[in-house]
Structure 1
Amino acid sequence: MQRIKKVCVYCASSNKIESKYFEATETVARALVKNNTTVVYGGGANGLMGALADTVLEEKGRIIGIMPHFMKEVEFHHKDVNEFIFTADMHERKKQFMVGVDALITLPGGCGTFEELMEAITLKRLGIFTKPILILNLDGYYDDLLRMLDKAIEEGFLSEKHRPIWTVFTDPAKVIEAIMGSTPWSSDAINFAQV
């Protein structure tokens, strides 16, 4: 089985969400640490980002925060994460999220998480990013987004060939299995990027 050495996790910074999302995040974090996988994330101390970092640190795993300088200045960064990359802006942050990772994992989140996911899907469609993109659809959180992606295929905005760009999973404990079960992707995808 191929080793999953490093993954990026996209997730929420909100503390005003149900406990099930925190529990799922902690489960994902434990599974990644158990697999000896380095975690890259947005560097925050609150919400699911904070839960992710806290759990990785408690389990003695390795976590790297990536955050623009302006966020550090308003004390958004997690003080216990000692590996940080501070970027000039949000665009550079998103680029850094993808450097050297074996997969992207999308947990429930808000507009920032949506934007990161959609940019990753776009880059994979173009063959610029080729690693697995995972979506944790916990209790149907992403049902509407997945329906929108289905509609884009049905209406001809995406091709059926693009459906394997993302992999949906529902059990946070099976994150490694979901990564390993993803359809391989190639930089040749640029050849069928246009519908």
Structure 2
Amino acid sequence: MNKLEKICVFCGSSEGNDLAIAQAAMMLGETFANRDITLVYGAAKIGVMGILAKSVLDNNGAVIGIIPEFLKKKEVVHLGLSQLITTENMHDRKMKMQEVSDGFIALPGGMGTLEELFEILTWLQLGLHNKPIGLLNVNHFYDDLLQLLETMVRKGLLKMKNYELLLVSDSIDILLEKMEQFKAPKIPKWLSPERT
């Protein structure tokens, strides 16, 4: 059983036009606070990111924001967080998110959300970490993406065992349960250090 004390959430810096997404972000924030799960995220107070952080804080939960220096000038940084960590660049931001988190969830978002999701999935596939990664499929938002991944499996470009590393549900409670029960696969032999 994985102890999920801090979960990093990747999500949009825009709110979008589907109210179900904002509602899911609020519900996720409330769930985190009620379960004493600290939110780790990108530190903005705008978009889905802002809705999520506000929900955690409004319910007396803890929030750690991580943001690269250059985005402080472009994004609206949330100044009411439990902790704000500044990094030199985007790569260091993702490294820090991985370092401090016990698991990851992707809410709906744009290109940045997908980039973060697939990089952390790739790191898991390569054995660089062993933490669970969840996809909260709000209102069928990720159906097309999941269909594309299934096509990759069918075409022989993605192994089924790697496809199954991504835990998917439209229910927050079910997704968290899957993450708690997740067991990371063994590191592939070809990635293991050579024995001398």
Q: Is TM more than 0.5 here?
A: yes
2:2–2:179 contact (8 Å) kept in structure 1:
no
| C-alpha distance after superposition, 1:87-133 (max 9, x if no partner) | 11111111111113221000000000000011111111101121111
Are 1:191 and 2:189 counterparts? yes
Give the TM-score normalised by the residue count of structure 1: 0.91
Shift, 1:72, TM fit: 1.2
Q: How many residues align?
A: 191
* Correspondence for 2:36: 36
1:27–1:173 contact (8 Å) kept in structure 2:
no
| C-alpha distance after superposition, 1:42-66 (max 9, x if no partner) | 0011111001110111111110000
1:105–1:136 contact (8 Å) kept in structure 2:
yes
1:10–1:107 contact (8 Å) kept in structure 2:
yes
* Correspondence for 2:27: 27
Q: Supply the distance in 2 between the matched residues of 1:40 and 1:92 (Cα, whole angstroms).
A: 15
Q: Secondary structure at the match of 2:168?
A: strand
1:25–1:172 contact (8 Å) kept in structure 2:
no
Are 1:160 and 2:160 counterparts? yes
* Correspondence for 1:68: 68
Are 1:120 and 2:154 counterparts? no
Give the TM-score normalised by the residue count of structure 2: 0.90
User: Percent of aligned positions with the same letter in both sequences?
Assistant: 34
* Correspondence for 2:194: none
Residue identity in the other structure for 2:184:
W
Shift, 1:192, TM fit: 7.1
2:2–2:181 contact (8 Å) kept in structure 1:
no
Q: Secondary structure at the match of 1:99?
A: helix
Gaps of 5+ in 1: none
Q: Supply the distance in 2 between the matched residues of 1:192 and 1:146 (Cα, whole angstroms).
A: 28
Q: Supply the distance in 1 between the matched residues of 2:169 and 2:141 (Cα, whole angstroms).
A: 12
Q: Supply the distance in 2 between the matched residues of 1:81 and 1:41 (Cα, whole angstroms).
A: 11
Q: Secondary structure at the match of 2:164?
A: helix
Q: Secondary structure at the match of 2:100?
A: coil
Q: Supply the distance in 2 between the matched residues of 1:39 and 1:64 (Cα, whole angstroms).
A: 6
Following superposition of structure 1 onto structure 2, how do residues 66-105 of structure 1 map, counting pairs within 5 Å? 66-105=66-105
Q: Supply the distance in 2 between the matched residues of 1:164 and 1:93 (Cα, whole angstroms).
A: 26
Following superposition of structure 1 onto structure 2, how do residues 138-149 of structure 1 map, counting pairs within 5 Å? 138-149=138-149
Shift, 1:190, TM fit: 3.0
Q: Please give the root-mean-square deviation of Cα atoms over the aligned residues, in Å.
A: 1.7
